[in-house]
Each structure stands twice: as structure tokens, then as C-alpha cells.
């Protein structure tokens, strides 16, 4: 009897060419499916994920699922997978899911975080885990700009020109930035995110923080739908897929808690 297994995984994206399998390149999906192939005595087992992450992007709460005939408990799956996965991937949580569950299509919302180190001197020990932006920033102006992203909008100005998806309307439930000393952390919760969307928003809002743009520019950019007018794409290493929400009540509780 086949069962569907849901996992929450974390990975350090530094030495991966992204999540999705690519011929001849090291990927998160490739490493995970190789472990499953060994556990299934050479039979290929395909893994579905909540979404793809690019080279250098990290995840704390990526969600995947796969179907298997093996009868293991959730704890046995977790131990077996972590014993064989490389040290830059870890399984944080495992549970059996119903056949109706799909890591991507069942998702209600996603949360991304983006970390920026703003000290004058770069930190060599953080260089793979946050962007370095050594400038004085006006946090209040940045949050004023981010609040303009709340709600349902066409985010064409904030996605890569290479994006093939025609429907670029998404709902942003939360967009904010907080400072803890020289470390900034952006937090975004939305119904979905387009290619490079978070990184372009961050790049644009950092310019607002420096005084190069006005917070009101966000409204203009949403209206004109032109990627060329937005700011630069922030580096991959600061981005984290933090959480995927599957139940409305979880999302509502998170938004209520602030």
C-alpha cells in the first residue's frame, strides 16, 4: 500500500545550483531523490516541492512530499533520511499526509525572509547567509514603502523580465523590515511569489532607505508594471524560504499575532 509522506526540510543553499534537478549540477532535489532511490533499492521516487529556490537561496521551511510503498513511522523516516542526506540538508519534520495533499497546490501562502548586514565592515562568517549593504538606512521610510505592498496587486514591476507567468497578480499579507543592530530582516507573507519578486522588492526598498527614492514610488511602480523602473535584484544569499502555510487558520493566527 502506498502512502504519501510530507516533510519540512531546511537547507543551506550555498553549494547548490538551486532546488530543482538540473543535469550535471548539484541540487537539493537531486540529493533527496538519490537518498530515496537507495532506500527503495534502486527504484526512482520523485519528490514534489512547494516551490523552487535559486542557486544560493536557503530554506528553513521548504515542504516536499513523495509517495512510497515503505511502511515506516514518521520518526523512522526522519532518522533514516537525516542519516543519509548531506550535512547541508536536514529533515525537520515528517508526517503521513492524505492522498489529497500536494506540497505545491495545497499551499495557501508562503513566507520569505531576507537578511541584510549593514555594518561598515563585512562579516566573513555571514557572507553566505545575508547580503552586505554598508549604508545608513531610514527604517521608518522602508516600512512605509513596504506597507504600500499590502493587499492584492499586479507585481510585474517586481518580478524578473524572464518570468513566463502571465498572471502576475498576488496578495501580500505582510511586508515589513526590522533592525537588530546592524542586521536587518525583511519578512514577507503572501499568497504566492513571482520569480525574483522578493529580491527585487528588497533591492528597491533599500534604495528608499538610502533616500534615493521616495516610499510613494512603490505605488507608482505597482501602477506602471515595468521591471526596468524598479531597483536592482538583491543577492541570492540573503533570501530564505521560511514557511509554507497550508491551513487558513494557521495563516490567520500568524497574521493576528504580528
Active site residue 54: yes
DSSP, collapsed to helix, strand or coil, labels residue 92 as strand
Q: Is the pLDDT of residue 223 over 70?
A: yes
Helix (H) or strand (E) segment spanning residue 187: strand 183-190
Q: How confident is the model at residue 253 (pLDDT cuts 50, 70, 90)?
A: confident
Q: Tell me the pLDDT tens digit for each residue of 77-99.
A: 999 999 999 999 999 999 999 89
Q: Tell me the pLDDT tens digit for each residue of 194-218.
A: 999 999 999 999 999 999 999 999 9
Q: Judge whether 24 and 12 are in contact, CB under 8 Å.
A: no
Q: Which three cell numbers stand for residue 163?
A: 518570468
Q: What is the pLDDT of residue 170?
A: 97
Q: What is the pLDDT of residue 95?
A: 96
Of residues 5 and 248, more confidently modeled: 5
Residue with cell string 516600512? 143
Q: Is the pLDDT of residue 188 over 90?
A: yes
Q: What is the pLDDT of residue 247?
A: 82
Q: Where are the alpha helices (DSSP H) in 148-196?
A: none
Regarding pTM above 0.85, the answer is: yes
Tell me the C-alpha distance between 258 and 248, whole Å.
16
Print burial letters for 80-100: b (CB count within 10 Å at least 16), e (below 16): bbbeebbebbebeebeebeee
Q: What is the pLDDT of residue 249?
A: 65
124's CB contacts (< 8 A; 6+ apart) are none
Nearest 5°: the CA angle 115, 119, 123 is 75
Quote the percentage of the chain above a pLDDT of 70.
98
On average, the pLDDT of the chain sits at 95
Domains of the chain: 3-97 (3.30.70.580), 109-257 (3.30.70.660)
Going by the annotation, the residues of the binding site are: 112
Q: Select which of 54, 67, 88, 154 is catalytic.
A: 54
Going by the annotation, the residues of the binding site for substrate are: 112
Q: Tell me the pLDDT tens digit for each residue of 130-185.
A: 999 999 999 999 999 999 999 999 999 999 988 888 899 999 999 999 999 999 99
Q: What is the pLDDT of residue 163?
A: 81
Q: Tell me the pLDDT tens digit for each residue of 11-68.
A: 999 999 999 999 999 999 999 999 999 999 999 999 999 999 999 999 999 999 999 9
Q: What is the pLDDT of residue 161?
A: 84
Q: Judge whether 216 and 222 are in contact, CB under 8 Å.
A: no
Averaged pLDDT for residues 71-78: 96
Q: What is the pLDDT of residue 258?
A: 64
DSSP state of 166: S
> Which of these, 104, 254, 120, lies nearest to 188 by C-alpha position?
254
DSSP, collapsed to helix, strand or coil, labels residue 169 as strand
Q: What is the pLDDT of residue 123?
A: 94
User: What backbone torsions phi and psi does residue 77 show, to the nearest 5 degrees?
Assistant: -60, -45
Amino acid at each position: 500500500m502506498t502512502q504519501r509522506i510530507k516533510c519540512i526540510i531546511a537547507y543551506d543553499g550555498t553549494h547548490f545550483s538551486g532546488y530543482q534537478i538540473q543535469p550535471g549540477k548539484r541540487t537539493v532535489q537531486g540529493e533527496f531523490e538519490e537518498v530515496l532511490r537507495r532506500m527503495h533499492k534502486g527504484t526512482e521516487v520523485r519528490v514534489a516541492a512547494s516551490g523552487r529556490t535559486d542557486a544560493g537561496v536557503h530554506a528553513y521551511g521548504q515542504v516536499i512530499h513523495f509517495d512510497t510503498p515503505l511502511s515506516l513511522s514518521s520518526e523512522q523516516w526522519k532518522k533514516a533520511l537525516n542519516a543519509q542526506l548531506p550535512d547541508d540538508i536536514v529533515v525537520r519534520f515528517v508526517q503521513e499526509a492524505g492522498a489529497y495533499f500536494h506540497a505545491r497546490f495545497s499551499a495557501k501562502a508562503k513566507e520569505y525572509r531576507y537578511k541584510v548586514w549593514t555594518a561598515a565592515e563585512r562579516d566573513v562568517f555571514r557572507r553566505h547567509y545575508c547580503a552586505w549593504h554598508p549604508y545608513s538606512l531610514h527604517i521608518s521610510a522602508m516600512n512605509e514603502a513596504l506597507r504600500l505592498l499590502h493587499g492584492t496587486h499586479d507585481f510585474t514591476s517586481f518580478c524578473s523580465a524572464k518570468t513566463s507567468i502571465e498572471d502576475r497578480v498576488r496578495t501580500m499579507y505582510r511586508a515589513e523590515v526590522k533592525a537588530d543592530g546592524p542586521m536587518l530582516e525583511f519578512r514577507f507573507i503572501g499568497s504566492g511569489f513571482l520569480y525574483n519578486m522578493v529580491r527585487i522588492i528588497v533591492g528597491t526598498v533599500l534604495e528608499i532607505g538610502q533616500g534615493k527614492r521616495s516610499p510613494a514610488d512603490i505605488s507608482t511602480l505597482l501602477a506602471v508594471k515595468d521591471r526596468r523602473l524598479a531597483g536592482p535584484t538583491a543577492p541570492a544569499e540573503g533570501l530564505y524560504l521560511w514557511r509554507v502555510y497550508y491551513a487558513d487558520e494557521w495563516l490567520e493566527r500568524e497574521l493576528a499575532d504580528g
